[in-house]
Every structure is written in C-alpha cells, then in structure tokens.
Amino acid sequence: MRVRTFGRWTAAAVAVSLAITIAGAQEENLVTNADFEDELLDPWGNYGPITVELADKADAHTGTEAMKITVAAAGVNFWDAGVQFSDNIFFAKNTDYTWAMFFKSDPPVRVNIKPELGADPWTAYGENQVQLTEEYQEFWTEWNVGGSDVVPASLTLHVQFDAATIWMDDVRWYEGDYEPFEGGAPQSVDPIGKATTTWGRLKSPEHD
C-alpha cells in the first residue's frame, strides 16, 4: 500500500509540476483590453485629427471586436495623430519586451510603431515603421531600455501618413522575445510587479 500511495503522490507531483511549467511558459500580456471583446476602447487613447471606434464585427481578426482608426488626411508629420496605450506604465530596466499586434488597412498605408518615453523628448525604443495591406498581418517590435527604468512610458502608434481606415486587433505586450500568435491574445494580467505599475509603486523604496 505504501508503494502504491507513494506512486499516486509522485504522479500528482509530476502533474502539478507540469501544469506550473506550462503556465509559466505562457506569455503574460501586459496590455489590458487587448482584443476589444468587452466592446470598450478604454484604456486606449488617441490624439490628433483621427476617429477611433469599435469596428464592425466582420472586421475583427479574431472574435467579434477590433479597433477601427479613421485617418481623414495625411498630416504635416506622420506623428501628428496617433493611438496610445499609456495606462500608468513604465519600461523596467534590463528587461526584454515584445509589442505585437494585427493590422490591416484600406487602402494600404504605413504605421509607425513606437514604444517611447511618455514625455518630452519622447525617446524611442525599438521604433518600427511598417507597411499595412488590406489583409490582416501581425507586426511587432522588440526592445530593452538598458540600465534605467523609463518613466512614464507609452506604447504609441503614429498613423497620419495618409488618408486610410486602419483596423487593429489581438495586441500583445509581454516580457521576452517575439513568439508567433497562436489563436488568441494571451490573457491580460494584473501588471503590478511586472512592467506596468501605479505611480505610488514607482515611488516606493523597494522599486529602487
């Protein structure tokens, strides 16, 4: 009986260990409202002469929702209008990040993907200008800010290259190198203790 009991406990321990390993291997998405399935845009914001709204259900990459960005005309500068995720976030020092998302546009147009310091001089990290098409494709950028936290930070998309309608869905921001999308944006997690935080957390001694 003791042998069989030990065997059962060993099998249970292996199962628990395997479950922990699999869970740990999954990306923890630091973007909230990553797939817009709650039919909300918050906490995404925008600036400049563009319109941002939820897309028609037929234009989602997965599920039934996506973000729709309407750019009426080219700007003097392509950065004169944009979409931002800047929900009290920062980029932690010596940490590898990936920011990935699916885009399509009509007509084809460029978008500038720019993780940045969220204040003047708007320092860029891993800036990547990409060419969209009329079919969804995944685009991404990777970066590491080095030896100092970047506070405040912003995930910014510059969109005023030309008149177009742009759709975005299944956004991922996570620690680590790029991994291809596999059928669903990873579940958003509470970012406290990860790469996003409140200002109070930033000011605490244990963050230094």
Confidence of residue 8 (pLDDT cuts 50, 70, 90): very low
Task: Please report the pLDDT score of residue 155 as a whole number.
Answer: 98
15 within some domain? no
Calculate the CA 198 to chain-centre distance: 18
Residue at 172 is within a domain = yes
Strand pairing class (67-71; 50-54): antiparallel
Does any domain span residue 108? Answer: yes
Q: Are 156 and 126 in contact (CB under 8 A)?
A: no
Residues 45-60, mean pLDDT to the nearest whole number: 97
Task: Identify whether 3 is part of a domain.
Answer: no
* pLDDT-derived band at 161, boundaries 50, 70, 90: very high
Query: Is 19 part of any domain?
Result: no
- Specify the amino acid at residue 34: A
Q: Which domain holds residue 123?
A: 28-207
Is 9 part of any domain? no
pLDDT at 17 over 90: no
Indicate if the pLDDT at residue 85 is higher than 50: yes
Residue 183: the pLDDT is 72
Nearest C-alpha neighbor of 153 from the set 103, 110, 205, 191: 191
Number of folded domains in the chain? 1
Binning pLDDT at 50, 70 and 90, where does residue 194 land? very low
Judge whether 13 lies within some domain: no
Amino acid 27: pLDDT: 74
Query: Which CATH number fits the domain that encloses residue 64?
Result: 2.60.120.260
Please check whether residue 18 lies inside any domain of the structure. Answer: no
CA distance 16 to 13: 5
Q: What is the pLDDT of residue 162?
A: 98
Q: What is the pLDDT of residues 89-110, one digit of tens each?
A: 999 999 999 999 999 999 999 9
For the entire predicted model, the pTM comes to 0.79
Identify any residues that bridge with 188 across adjacent strands, giving them in sequence order.
29
Task: Tell me which residue of 97, 93, 95 sits closest to 147, measured CA to CA.
Answer: 93
What confidence tier does 26 reach under pLDDT thresholds 50, 70, 90?
A: low
State the residue for tokens 């494709």: 137
Output the CA–CA distances (angstroms, integers) from residue 102 to 3, 14, 77, 149, in the order listed.
53, 37, 24, 28
Q: Are 59 and 166 in contact (CB under 8 A)?
A: no
